[in-house]
Structure 1
Amino acid sequence: MERLPYIDEYAITVAADRETTWHAVLRTMCRNPKDPETLPFGFILDAAEQPDRFACKGRHWFSVYKLVFLLADDPAGGTRVTAQTWAAFPGVKGKIYRALVIGSGGHRIVVRNMLRRIAAQSISDPTKRV
């Protein structure tokens, strides 16, 4: 996949270690958390570098995109999870699609919701490994 333009990033600090948080990312993002390739429709696995980086990518008529989760130890304790979005929106239809998805704030809501779900998964069953 070509180098995509940076769109945005959002982060949350999770009250769990990176290993626990990694498994929470898998439980949140994958239909089968034991198989990182079981991503939702529209995504394929780009990288699963336990416990540091989980990346998925995709493409359709109006965009080419990548969503990257970076996990790092937070100096205050816990794990800092950052979700970065990279995407290109080619052509006129791509510009319209970008306005609908990014410009409307819908993308921000979805990504922040993913981060909250990862945090909740980390806390709700910190001993659960996949």
Structure 2
Amino acid sequence: MDITALPYVDEHATVVSAEADAVWCGIGHALDGSFTPGYAHLVGCADRTASGPRPLAEGSTVPGFRVAGAEPGRELVLVGRHRFSTYALVFRLEEAGPGRTRLRAETRARFPGPAGGLYRLLVIRTGGHAVLTGRLLTAIGRQAEQVRSANPRKNA
């Protein structure tokens, strides 16, 4: 899937008090705990279960998403589709100072037809997507900081 062909929806960012490798681990842990197979089944997602290698690598899945690209510590590209949308979620990690990483989450999606338009209204325009993405970034940050705390020598 060419994600650049999907319309841009939004981007959310946060700075995490951890190195990029800890944030990378945090992404995997948070994704595995955030998306439910029940919702993926309800909307008819192509990928409904978690599978493949951990840490996440190309071909791995979490409910609703397949990993289309993975550069550990730099970028994770997730793609998916269901009855109402074709979409991508791209996580980018950038150094933000000593022991800090800027984490960005970019969403791109196409919502075809009347049902897709209604879904976009319900998910995007109500602000629900923004709230859930913010919660996901917070969860990733917490996970990364736990990884950092568990490896104090690496952070000295």
TM-score normalised by structure 2 residue count: 0.75
CA offset at residue 75 of structure 1? 3.8
Residue matched to 2:124 = 102
Distance 2:65 2:147 in 1: 26
Q: Following superposition of structure 1 onto structure 2, how do residues 1-130 of structure 1 map, counting pairs within 5 Å?
A: 1-2=1-2, 3-30=5-32, 34-36=54-56, 37-39=60-62, 41-75=63-97, 78-126=100-148, 127=150
State TM-score, norm by structure 1. Answer: 0.89
What residue ranges of structure 1 are gaps of 5+ in the alignment?
none
Specify the code of the residue in structure 1 equivalent to 2:7: P
Match of 1:16, SS? coil
SS across alignment from 1:125: helix
Structure 2: stretches of 5+ with no match in the other structure = 33-49, 152-156
The answer as to whether partners of 2:12 and 2:104 remain within 8 angstroms in 1 is: yes
RMSD, matched Cα: 1.8
In structure 2, relative to structure 1, the CA distance for the partners of 1:82 and 1:55 (3 Å cut) is: same
Q: CA shift at 1:76, angstroms?
A: 6.8
In structure 1, how many angstroms separate the alpha carbons of the residues matched to 2:55 and 2:91? 17
Equivalent pairs counted in the alignment come to 127
Q: Which has the larger radius of gyration?
A: 2
Matched residues in 2 for 1:38 and 1:6: separation?
22
